[in-house]
Structure 1
Amino acid sequence: MPAATLCTTPSSPAARKNWSSPSLQCTPPSSSVTTGTAAASSSSSSHFLQVDRVAFLIDKCKSVNHLLQIHAALLRHGLNHHPILNFKLQRSYSSFGRLDYSVSLFERTDNPNVFLWTAIIHAHTQCGLSEQARVYYAQMLSQSIQPNAFTFSSVIRGCSLKSCRALHSQVIKFSFETDLYVTTGLLDAYARGGDNMSAKQLFDVMPEKSLVSLTAMLTCYAKHGQIQEARLLFEEMEEKDVVCWNVMIDGYAQHGFPRESLLLFRQMLAAKAKPNEITVLSVLSSCGQLGSLESGRWLHSYIENNNIQISVRVGTALIDMYCKCGSLDDARKVFDKMHDKDVVAWNSMIMGYAIHGFSEEAFRMFDMMCSIGLQPTDITFIAILTACGHSGLVSKGRSIFNSMKNEYEIEPKIEHFGCMVNILSRAGQLHEAYNLVRNMKIDPDPVLWGTLLWACRLHNEVSLGEEIAEFLMSHNLASSGTYVILSNIYAAAGNWDGVAKVRSLMKESGVEKEPGCSVIEVDNKVHEFLAGDLRHPKSKEIYLMLEEMNRWLEANGYTPQTDVVLHDLGERQKQLSLGVHSEKLAMAFGLISTRPGTTIKIVKNLRVCLDCHAVMKLISKITKRKIIMRDRNRFHHFENGSCSCGDFW
């Protein structure tokens, strides 16, 4: 068989008759007629040159069709068993998404070496077929072929925690425990599997720590809520790329530290690190958690001015942020400008209308989404059922809940049952809600029981409340909220012995009541208040404004609703307790810190109480200001003495 060489297309018809490939052809006989040692030397040199050029051609392929043409030429010219060319072909087929071609080529290769085994293992890992990759790895070992560092790096990627431990022993057996790439892969696998201890042990003994391994350990800490450890490691890192900043910023955002997330983002900008899409997604989440509208608007402007593409993900995050910060108008503007909106974007907008109490608009959006051919998801129905719950639409809620399975073939999840329990129990249909929970095919979670328990407090159903609370405590499902709500049920009924008993149980169990906290943003700075707070630098002015507010309220016929104070106190003490609730302190600060007519936005971590709700309605009328409050359950838009919730929350 003559050696193969690369050339251009022959120009003469006679030459074109023997043309066999756009890339390869047989060397003309006249050019290869030599004798003795010189011929052998020339042939060997020509062969290596030709293989090198074909390998280069394979690497430069831009389509699988071109690759198939080269492969066909190799078959015609007897180069189909060349290990280097086979390796490159196999790898290139995988890169074009043709794993089937890659496997077929591998299975036709006689005695594949470690590089070919590694290539087929890597190809399967890249396609998410980690189990099959490990099968190939086991087959390779059975043929007495020793893995190299690239083999381990490939097979470890994407493996389960159990497989990681087994592969770790193999790494030690074949003396690769000091290889930086291999140990970094193991560290990443331990981190993904949640084995923080093994990850830390491996990290501590690594002889060298690259930026990748440092980032892997940082991710391990941040992902599993070890925020302090993550921050210490982050500060020790001499080099920080955008991935490191993103991991730390997102760690704060995901584990309830949105304020720290925003502060770190500002440090990132000061360090001249360039944010990307991942960065802005995390920071938008933090703005939404804090209800920090001005920070969110600034970030939106930054995205537009710094050529960060407003993809569907970023657009959806902006919608979610604006909805959580109380600006539905801004959210809708982003939504309307988005192209190729997916169902997630529609869900965010529908949920925004739902939590603000604009149920009719939520239903209208749902109908529009279905009319353009988008299929609702389980999240869509959570949003629609939430809209029903905030408007007391029991019949509509039942109808939508039943349509999930009957019309859309979506099996209701625990969240959907929770929405239905909320709809029924808030409307006073507690026993129907209780029966729904007892007859569910899936086990109810503490959140669902808590919803029902809160409804017992709302409707003074003491006996049912006791029954539910005792069930939760006896099955180790009770949270701090369980004890607090049961205590409130007893207090509302005047059963102070019951209150004392519950508080004693809380003390014995080490359970503490979550303190009420309200935040307000003024001049791009978030201010936090607890009940009776004296920590703020403007405390004197705040309490003077509280006194002024009380005079306004009295002049407008306000009577403190002291029955919401669930402590055995005198009437005067109850009034004093009510007067320093955290949302009232935030309101007073907002009045002294903003221009007349400015909308005031407050975020509270718990449900707003009846008395504070009544006060906010009156203050909105007296000051002619719009007040938007987000509590744990929903948004309240106070304007001219009324609330968007219709006093139903």
Structure 2
Amino acid sequence: MSTTPLTAINRAPISPPSPSTTTTTTTTTTSTQSVPSVDRFALLIDNSKSIPRLLQAHAALLRHGFHDHSILNFKLQRSYASLGRLDYSVALFRRTQSPNVFFWTSVIHGHAQCGLNDQALLYYTQMLIQGVEPNCFTFSAVLKVCPLGPGKALHCQAIKFGFDSDLYVRTGLVDVYARAGDVWSAQHLFDTMPEKSLVSLTAMLTCYAKHEKLDEARLLFDLMPERDVVCWNVMIDGYTQHGMPNEALLLFRKMLRAKVKPNEVTVLSLVSACGQLGALESGKWLHTYMANNGIRINVHVATALIDMYCKCGSLEDARLVFDRIQGKDVIAWNSMIIGYAMHGFSDDALELFNGLCKIGYQPTDITFIGVLSACAHAGLVSEGREFFSSMKDEYGIKPKIEHYGCMVNLLSRAGHLEEAYELVKNMKIDPDPVLWGTLLGACRLHGNTALGEEIAEFLVRHDLANSGTYILLSNIYAAAGNWEGVARVRTLMKNSGIQKEPGCSSIEVKNKVYEFLAGDKRHPKSKEIYTMLEEINGWLRAHGYTPQTDIVLHDLGERQKEQSLEVHGEKLAIAFGLISTKPGSTITIVKNLRVCSDCHAVTKLISKITGRKIIMRDRNRFHHFVNGSCSCGDYW
């Protein structure tokens, strides 16, 4: 940071302020009509809302001999910092002889406001060394930048100096413990506060929401006597960040009814929630709301919209937003590249990558996740190998676990299982469960039971197995007709307390999201849904459809296997979509697991029979079903 002296300051030496000096100056000022008073100068400084105006006020102050007036110098120091000229503020501070606690607090606060946390703490330490005792304002300023270690030391000092019960100091302490994840200490301090301000309530609310204690957060939120937009944002973002997007959207509607105006932070959380749900209608409504209510769609909001539209299945809307961004950064390019990749539009993703490089942007590690994912979805093995090499050799980007995951997915799905396995074994970082799961899934796809067993045994032996490991191994045994192996795996799961994640499919109709589990009958229109399902089954039989009962992982009779396939969640969601939307309109389904081969085949047929476009987002990618074909080319 520059601390070059101000020219104006150099024109007059600063002497230690004293009561007698201040009194004399004030008397002289008031007795001479041509010289402005201290109060006039103080008002002039307070009203200077730009650096040029403040410099003019500073020059006038010097011309009239107020260079050593402590109150005016304090105001100047504070104003320079608030207007972004911390260097000027520091220069004034360093020319103040024997600065009192207010000067020290001002310079600490200025550095804290600029995010210069270490410098703020250093000034606090220097103040103590100089023998100046902090006040409650000092603690409030410095606690904002404290990590847990120094925060605990400051907590002790606050008690020593008798400020620990001050409302603002106690709020700062709550915030220190909350930011560090020490929820118990934060809650203890909060509960023992004699009174609670909106700021302290918000600090505790943020603590709960950030650390996934959403029930406690909502209880506190509902009990708050007043709530500003920050409180609403904290609660909405808490739901969004911790996998409860439906609750985020419901709370937003409540926020609108409470006449609280959303801001950019609100819409960023909500756009993310819509993306998680695949709620295209809600996302479009939110986009329109921003335009109609003066919420500026800057590059950050626009990038969030691109991500949302891609996750909701509308690449057209995503590209429209992308093309309209003025001064788009590499993050916006990455979002569009990844969007094309997840939809299987690999040519578009790679074309956009070339465009990014052509205009001079440097690809990032995220860019290569999108590019490698595009190669994986299209089976572009040689291209993927080249990109993986170029990210290291040409761009100096060290591969992360996500890049290895893309390469393992690319190689193993294309049948290069041994090469993928060697890549995993030779990685310089530890493979994660997702990567192992990808390899196991490919073993099932290609019927390589031996390698699947070897990998699964390795994971179990090294305590790396999760529910996905057991399910994939069970799938491998089931596909091979080894029901004894399936039973053994299920016994292992039961003994280990591991449960399979239930499949769930959702669909948005009239801005409301409905979820369906396999065999679900909770929906109010359950009778109509199952009637539609029977009609669909008739269509399928007429078109020669044969259920793929070999994917059922239970040793059941053939008819029982067929019945279990008929009530998969995505089929129920499609049936509900057919009875709830206009003929010819697109149906969009979001599934938390990978779509099974039977549902994939059925959805292709339904798209042909009904003339509907059906978009399905599963755990891995998007499938666009049109007139009996899927955009994945049956390669997923």
Aligned to 1:242, which of 229, 253, 258? 229
Q: 1:566 to 1:134 in 2, by over 3 A?
A: same
Tell me the CA shift for residue 396 of structure 1. 0.8
Q: 1:548 to 1:171 in 2, by over 3 A?
A: same
For residue 387 of structure 1, what is the aligned residue in structure 2? 374
Tell me the CA shift for residue 46 of structure 1. 4.8
Tell me the CA shift for residue 550 of structure 1. 1.5
Q: 1:276 to 1:610 in 2, by over 3 A?
A: same
Contact 2:25 2:66 in 1 (8 A): no
Q: 1:341 to 1:453 in 2, by over 3 A?
A: same
Aligned to 2:328, which of 310, 328, 341? 341
Aligned to 2:76, which of 76, 79, 89? 89
- The answer to whether the aligner puts 1:444 opposite 2:409 as a matched pair is no
For residue 144 of structure 1, what is the aligned residue in structure 2? 131
What secondary structure, in the 3-state scheme, does the structure 2 residue paired with 1:519 have?
A: strand
Aligned to 1:43, which of 6, 9, 28? 28
Aligned to 2:502, which of 515, 533, 540? 515
The aligned amino acid for 1:286 is A
RMSD of aligned alpha carbons: 2.4
Aligned to 1:466, which of 428, 453, 473? 453
Distance 1:75 1:482 in 2: 76
Larger radius of gyration between Structure 1 and Structure 2: 1
Aligned to 1:163, which of 150, 154, 167? 150
Tell me the CA shift for residue 50 of structure 1. 3.7
Tell me the CA shift for residue 71 of structure 1. 5.1
Tell me the CA shift for residue 174 of structure 1. 0.9
Give CA deviations for 1:582-627 in whole Å, capped at 9, x if unaligned. Answer: 1111111112222222211111110010111011111111111111
Aligned to 2:351, which of 364, 389, 392? 364
- TM-score normalised to structure 1 length: 0.90
Aligned to 1:233, which of 215, 220, 223? 220
For residue 565 of structure 2, what is the aligned residue in structure 1? 578
Q: 1:540 to 1:80 in 2, by over 3 A?
A: same
Q: 1:614 to 1:92 in 2, by over 3 A?
A: same
Pairing 1:201-216 to 2, within 5 Å after superposition: 201-216=188-203
Aligned to 1:200, which of 187, 190, 194? 187
Q: 1:45 to 1:602 in 2, by over 3 A?
A: same
For residue 270 of structure 1, what is the aligned residue in structure 2? 257
For residue 542 of structure 2, what is the aligned residue in structure 1? 555
Distance 2:454 2:498 in 1: 20
Contact 2:478 2:551 in 1 (8 A): no
Distance 2:106 2:512 in 1: 54
Distance 2:599 2:391 in 1: 38
What secondary structure, in the 3-state scheme, does the structure 2 residue paired with 1:238 have?
A: coil
Moved more, 439-448 or 192-201: 439-448
Tell me the CA shift for residue 201 of structure 1. 0.5
Q: 1:585 to 1:79 in 2, by over 3 A?
A: same
Tell me the CA shift for residue 81 of structure 1. 3.7
Moved more, 470-479 or 141-150: 470-479
Question: Which segments of 5 or more consecutive residues in structure 1 lack a partner in the other structure?
Answer: 1-19, 26-37
What secondary structure, in the 3-state scheme, does the structure 2 residue paired with 1:521 have?
A: strand
For residue 31 of structure 1, what is the aligned residue in structure 2? none
Q: 1:513 to 1:338 in 2, by over 3 A?
A: same
Pairing 1:7-156 to 2, within 5 Å after superposition: 42-43=27-28, 45-46=30-31, 50-64=37-51, 67=54, 79-156=66-143
Tell me the CA shift for residue 73 of structure 1. 6.5
Q: 1:597 to 1:62 in 2, by over 3 A?
A: closer
Tell me the CA shift for residue 91 of structure 1. 2.2
Distance 2:52 2:319 in 1: 46
Pairing 1:492-507 to 2, within 5 Å after superposition: 492-507=479-494
Distance 1:131 1:215 in 2: 25
What secondary structure, in the 3-state scheme, does the structure 1 residue paired with 2:616 have?
A: strand
Moved more, 470-479 or 639-648: 470-479
Aligned to 2:165, which of 157, 162, 178? 178
Distance 2:76 2:260 in 1: 39
Distance 1:562 1:179 in 2: 69
- The answer to whether the aligner puts 1:317 opposite 2:304 as a matched pair is yes
Distance 2:474 2:134 in 1: 64
Tell me the CA shift for residue 420 of structure 1. 1.0
Distance 2:421 2:630 in 1: 30
Q: 1:73 to 1:574 in 2, by over 3 A?
A: same
The aligned amino acid for 2:264 is E
The aligned amino acid for 1:335 is F
Moved more, 105-114 or 412-421: 105-114
Moved more, 344-353 or 40-49: 40-49
Moved more, 542-551 or 421-430: 542-551
Q: 1:555 to 1:150 in 2, by over 3 A?
A: same
Distance 1:445 1:626 in 2: 36
Tell me the CA shift for residue 75 of structure 1. 6.2
Distance 2:209 2:50 in 1: 41
Q: 1:575 to 1:137 in 2, by over 3 A?
A: same
The aligned amino acid for 1:486 is L
The aligned amino acid for 1:556 is H
Tell me the CA shift for residue 235 of structure 1. 0.7
For residue 616 of structure 2, what is the aligned residue in structure 1? 629
The aligned amino acid for 1:348 is S
Tell me the CA shift for residue 326 of structure 1. 0.8
Question: Which segments of 5 or more consecutive residues in structure 2 lack a partner in the other structure?
Answer: 1-6, 13-22
* Percentage identity across paired residues of the two chains: 71
Contact 2:29 2:38 in 1 (8 A): no
The aligned amino acid for 1:108 is R
What secondary structure, in the 3-state scheme, does the structure 1 residue paired with 2:266 have?
A: helix
For residue 646 of structure 1, what is the aligned residue in structure 2? 633
Distance 1:414 1:74 in 2: 61
The aligned amino acid for 2:495 is E
Tell me the CA shift for residue 65 of structure 1. 5.4
The aligned amino acid for 1:554 is R
- The answer to whether the aligner puts 1:286 opposite 2:273 as a matched pair is yes
The aligned amino acid for 1:591 is L
Pairing 1:378-457 to 2, within 5 Å after superposition: 378-457=365-444
For residue 329 of structure 1, what is the aligned residue in structure 2? 316
- The answer to whether the aligner puts 1:566 opposite 2:553 as a matched pair is yes
Q: 1:118 to 1:575 in 2, by over 3 A?
A: same
**How many pairs does the alignment contain?**
617
Distance 1:39 1:149 in 2: 31
